[in-house]
């Protein structure tokens, strides 16, 4: 083969790499938007809800102070952890565009992730990797399940990663070239990284510090500059690039601690109290449990084990010249887990900071294959198999979680939004200091931390912080020791009625005594998932049933049942009242016949997608045939101006006679409206005209 032929083959191979990278980028973007409209927060929900509740109350109160609200531990309501740059950005985007807060949070995170990739691209240049070959490394990152799933989470992780990667790049270029613009960028990015998430900043200080020591060690005299002068010059540039970020980070940590110290319930969140957990308790680095958890994060979220094996073997056999660079990446990846063993073991999203290093190290194995003498076709097949394996790992695990569309929260949080007012606080025991229930309820909260429900001095002082606040509800675990004292105190000090009104799973809800009767007499919704009303506390309810109701007339929490519909219906009729149910690990809209949902659609072409599921108990073979469902009819109708209907689609869902209908039935329909009109989805009785056990549920409904 001539040199020209070899060069031509290389150019063709490079074009394949570029095309593959573009396709992987588009694939990542598509995957990142799966379940975009869902209001739940899958993955690290404890931490996502904490970030989200801060953003929510910043937006509601227009409160952009440094002592920003995170109202989960009573008054004062601020317990700042990170500097709120991420939360401010999310709120600003939501306010400017009208995006829902959850979607705004996802958009900011995803934008930060994509802005990280150019920084990694340029950093790879410092490792002498050709430009086109760097796309292989970025391709590994784009197909890494963790970076699909968490790139769009309501978390600070990708913003911290973006700042840290650009800090490292700017730091290296500033010290190497003495560039003032790089120095300015290093300071800005370092300040951002230290403020947004100091543990991520510390991770990228490891390679920065190692490189700084290396370049100082190798500083030598030149023709014009003696060695000692060059050494001092390098020290000066290193200091100029790091002192200000260090100082600002320390200032923020001091401010955050001083603010948290004002809350008697937040002592455990002070930096001194968290040192053991953050840096690992005694023996954590040698703990088999810790390393088992770290391995689980790697094999489930970062890399499919066969892919790991292929890349490491390729690196070992063909990649001798890459060994040093791979060792650096792997060393920093493992080093940060030794530095923060518990954080990385118990919080999979922490690996957003370090996973790019593992992906780079494994990519060197693919680069080694590309430089080997193996047939080009075989190399392409192996690389394709690696990317396909990563995609399969995402598809088999995280995608199934991400794709679920849900209004967010649970039957308990939905009930609490009906039973309490936005200006009221709730007190919750048995759920540690989790922000999940307060966030989905959109209420300020005093969370009684796990173990403290038995500590009377503690919960007495905690309850005392709520003096002057309107407390709407108390939520306690059922039949556990230690809580009677807390209930008695809440009754005396907060005006809580000691009679529970409902039970959700293993917890009971108690209401404000003065409002209890009025609340229960004026409800229009009682059908909350897994909620059981306590004897004697059943609401005298005016339900949203057996009448046409305009969605615009409902309160925000009353519209939550329709969150899975895009757009939402403008009016509805439900014979037994709307509500949500959970089946197959998903949330569904209860649509027992007769249910009518009317959507206002513009003229033009439309595509409808929906799912319908019959509850398994509706066709249970152990009950008499006459008590089983006879199926339900699902119709799509255009409502004419005179009120008559033009049927576009009809389908009998009959799980008794059609076993396939016992699974979710996917319904798709393409149609065109000559003029704007109301389109109705109708769920009616089956072939025999009975609604016995017609327990139908609708999944996500979308009109494109």
Domain CATH number, residue 566: 2.60.120
Predicted confidence (pLDDT) at residue 558 exceeds the cutoff of 50: yes
Any domain includes 116: yes
Mean pLDDT of 394-421: 90
How do residues 365-398 score in pLDDT, each as one tens digit? 999 999 998 998 899 999 999 999 999 999 998 9
CB 413 within 8 A of CB 437: yes
Asked if residue 540 belongs to a domain, the reply is no
Under the banding of pLDDT at 50, 70 and 90, the label for residue 3 is: very low
Asked whether residue 660 is assigned to any structural domain, the reply reads yes
State the chain's mean pLDDT as an integer. Answer: 90
Say if residue 135 is in the same domain as residue 223: yes
Looking at the domain assignment, is residue 407 inside a domain? no
Same domain, 71 and 174: yes
- Residue 278, domain member (yes or no): no
Q: Give the end of a domain, one of 499, 533, 567.
A: 533
Choice between 481 and 23, residue whose per-residue pLDDT is larger: 23
Given 533, 565, 591, the domain boundary residue is 533
Q: How far, rounded to the nearest angstrom, does the alpha carbon of residue 340 sit from its chain's CA centroid?
A: 22
Which residue is associated with the tokens 């084990």?
305
191 with 303, same domain?
Answer: yes
Taking residue 703's Cβ as centre, other Cβ atoms within 10 Å add up to: 18
* Nearest Cα residue to 648 out of 626, 680, 604, 691: 680
Nearest to 515 by CA among 556, 558, 471, 484: 471
- Other C-beta atoms within 10 Å of 472: how many? 25
- At 677, give phi and psi (nearest 5°): -160, 165
pLDDT digits (tens, 9 = 90+) for 240-281: 999 999 999 999 999 999 999 999 899 999 999 998 888 888
Q: Name the 3-class secondary structure at 377.
A: helix
**What does the buried/exposed string (b/e) look like for 460-469 if buried means 16 or more CB atoms within 10 Å of the residue's CB?**
eebbebbeeb
What's the average model confidence in pLDDT over 203-230?
78
The stretch 345-371 carries a mean pLDDT of 95
Same domain, 170 and 101: yes
Counting residues of the chain whose pLDDT is more than 90, the rounded percentage is: 66
Of 481, 507, 533, the residue that ends a domain is 533
Q: How far apart are CA 629 and CA 661, in angstroms?
A: 12
Residue with tokens 């919750």: 428
Tens digit of pLDDT for each residue in 475-533?
A: 999 866 556 788 889 999 999 999 999 999 999 999 999 999 989 988 877 888 889 99
Total domains in the chain come to 3
What is the per-residue pLDDT across 64-88, written as a single tens digit (0 to 9) for each?
999 999 999 999 999 999 999 999 9
Pull the structure tokens for residue 413.
């949080």
Whether residue 410 is contained in a domain is answered as no
Q: What pLDDT sits at residue 478? A: 81
Type and span of the H or E element at 702: strand 701-703
Structure tokens at 314: 């390729």
Reading phi first (left if > 0) and then psi (alpha if -120 to 50, else beta), residue 44 is in: left
User: For the segment 574-620, what is each residue's pLDDT rounded down to a tens digit?
Assistant: 988 888 877 877 788 989 999 999 999 999 999 999 999 998 888 87
The rounded distance, in Å, linking the Cα atoms of 399 and 125 is 33
What mean pLDDT comes out for the span 131-147? 96
What is the Cα–Cα distance from 366 to 322, expressed in whole angstroms?
10
Does residue 185 sit in the same domain as residue 318?
Answer: yes
Q: What percent of the chain stands above pLDDT 70? A: 96
Two tokens at 181?
A: 């613009």
- Same domain for 555 and 510, yes or no, is no
User: Is 276 inside any structural domain?
Assistant: no
Same domain, 611 and 674: yes
State the DSSP code for 601.
E
Query: Which of 129-133, 404-408, 654-658 is the most confident on average?
Result: 129-133
Q: Has residue 1 got a pLDDT over 70?
A: no
Average pLDDT over every residue of 398-407 = 86
- Model confidence band, residue 221 (pLDDT cutoffs 50, 70, 90): low
Answer yes or no: is pLDDT of 646 > 50.
yes
> Do 441 and 481 fall into the same domain?
yes
Residue 556: pLDDT over 80: no
Residue 641: per-residue pLDDT = 82
**Could you tell me if 569 and 697 lie in one domain?**
yes
Strand extents, DSSP E, 592-653: 595-601, 604-614, 632-639, 645-653
Question: Are 307 and 366 in the same domain?
Answer: yes
Rounded to whole angstroms, the Cα distance separating 353 from 145 reads: 14
Which are the contacts of 504, defined by CB distance < 8 A and separation ≥ 6?
A: 410, 411, 412, 415, 528, 530, 531, 532
E strand or H helix that includes residue 425 = strand 425-429
Confidence of residue 457 (pLDDT cuts 50, 70, 90): confident
The CA distance from 40 to 582, in Å, is: 14
Name the residue range of residue 595's domain.
548-703
Task: Give the mean model confidence (pLDDT) for residues 169-186.
Answer: 91
Q: Are residue 53 and residue 105 in the same domain, yes or no?
A: yes
- Establish if 510 belongs to a structural domain: yes
Q: What is residue 225's predicted lDDT score, i.e. its pLDDT?
A: 56
Most confidently modeled range among 39-43, 107-111, 577-581: 107-111
CB 475 within 8 A of CB 437: yes
Residue 224 binned pLDDT confidence (cut-offs 50, 70, 90):
low
* Mean pLDDT to the nearest integer, 188-196: 97
Among the ranges given (222-226, 427-431, 484-488), the one the predictor scored with the smallest mean pLDDT: 222-226
- Do 562 and 676 fall into the same domain? yes
Q: What is the pLDDT of residue 233?
A: 81
């Amino acid at each position: 083969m001539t040199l020209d032929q070899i060069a031509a083959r290389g150019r063709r191979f490079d074009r394949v790499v570029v095309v593959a990278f573009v396709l992987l980028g588009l694939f990542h973007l598509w995957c990142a938007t799966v379940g975009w409209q869902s209001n739940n927060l899958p993955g690290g929900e404890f931490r996502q809800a904490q970030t989200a509740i801060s953003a929510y109350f910043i937006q509601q109160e227009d409160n952009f102070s440094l002592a920003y609200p995170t109202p989960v531990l009573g008054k004062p309501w601020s317990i700042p952890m990170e500097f709120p740059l991420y939360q401010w950005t999310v709120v600003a985007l939501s306010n400017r565009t009208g995006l829902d807060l959850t979607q705004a949070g996802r958009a900011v995170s995803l934008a930060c992730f994509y802005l990280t990739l150019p920084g990694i691209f340029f950093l790879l240049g410092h490792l002498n990797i050709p430009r086109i070959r760097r796309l292989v490394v970025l391709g590994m990152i784009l197909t890494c399940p963790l970076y699909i799933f968490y790139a769009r989470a309501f978390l600070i992780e990708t913003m911290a990663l973006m700042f840290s990667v650009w800090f490292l790049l700017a730091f290296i270029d500033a010290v190497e070239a003495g560039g003032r613009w790089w120095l300015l960028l290093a300071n800005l990015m370092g300040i951002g990284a230290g403020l947004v998430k100091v543990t991520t900043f510390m991770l990228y200080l490891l390679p920065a510090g190692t490189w700084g020591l290396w370049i100082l060690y190798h500083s030598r005299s030149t023709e014009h500059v003696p060695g000692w002068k060059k050494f001092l010059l390098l020290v000066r540039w290193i200091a100029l690039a790091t002192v200000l970020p260090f100082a600002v980070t320390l200032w923020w940590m001091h401010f955050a601690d001083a603010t948290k110290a004002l809350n008697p319930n937040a002592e455990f969140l002070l930096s001194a109290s968290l040192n053991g957990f953050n840096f690992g308790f005694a023996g954590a680095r040698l703990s088999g449990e810790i390393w088992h958890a770290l391995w689980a994060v790697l094999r489930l979220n970062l890399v499919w084990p066969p892919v790991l094996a292929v890349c490491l073997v390729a690196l070992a056999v063909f990649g001798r010249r890459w060994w040093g660079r791979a060792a650096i990446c792997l060393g920093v990846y493992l080093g940060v887990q030794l530095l923060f063993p518990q954080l990385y073991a118990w919080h999979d999203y922490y690996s957003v900071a370090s996973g790019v290093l593992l992906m780079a190290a494994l990519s060197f194995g693919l680069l080694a294959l590309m430089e080997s003498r193996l047939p080009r076709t075989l190399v392409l097949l192996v690389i394709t198999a690696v990317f396909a394996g990563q995609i399969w790992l995402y598809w088999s695990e995280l995608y199934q979680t991400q794709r679920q569309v849900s209004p967010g929260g649970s039957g308990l949080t939905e009930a609490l939004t009906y039973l309490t007012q936005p200006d009221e606080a709730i007190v919750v025991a048995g759920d540690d200091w989790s922000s999940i229930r307060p966030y989905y309820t959109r209420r300020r909260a005093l969370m009684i931390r796990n173990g403290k429900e038995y500590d009377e001095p503690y919960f007495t002082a905690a309850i005392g912080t709520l003096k002057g606040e309107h407390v709407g509800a108390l939520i306690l675990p059922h039949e556990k020791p230690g809580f009677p004292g807390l209930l008695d105190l809440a009754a005396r000090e907060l005006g809580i009625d000691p009679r529970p009104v409902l039970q959700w799973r293993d917890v009971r809800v108690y209401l404000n005594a003065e409002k209890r009767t009025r609340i229960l007499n004026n409800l229009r919704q009682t059908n909350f998932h897994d909620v059981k009303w306590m004897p004697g506390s059943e609401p005298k309810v005016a339900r949203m049933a057996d009448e046409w109701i305009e969605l615009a007339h409902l309160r925000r929490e009353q519209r939550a049942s329709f969150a899975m519909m895009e757009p939402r219906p403008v009016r509805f009729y439900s014979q037994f009242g709307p509500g949500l149910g959970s089946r197959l690990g998903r949330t569904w809209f209860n649509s027992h016949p007769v249910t009518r949902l009317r959507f206002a659609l513009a003229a033009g072409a439309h595509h409808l997608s929906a799912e319908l599921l019959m509850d398994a108990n509706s066709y249970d073979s152990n009950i008499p045939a006459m008590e089983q469902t006879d199926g339900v009819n699902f119709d799509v109708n255009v409502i004419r101006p005179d009120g008559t209907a033009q049927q576009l689609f009809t389908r009998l869902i009959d799980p008794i006679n059609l076993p396939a209908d016992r699974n979710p039935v996917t319904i798709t329909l393409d149609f065109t409206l000559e003029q704007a009109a109301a389109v109705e989805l109708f769920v009616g009785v089956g072939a025999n005209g009975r609604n016995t056990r017609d327990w139908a549920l609708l999944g996500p409904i979308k009109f494109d």
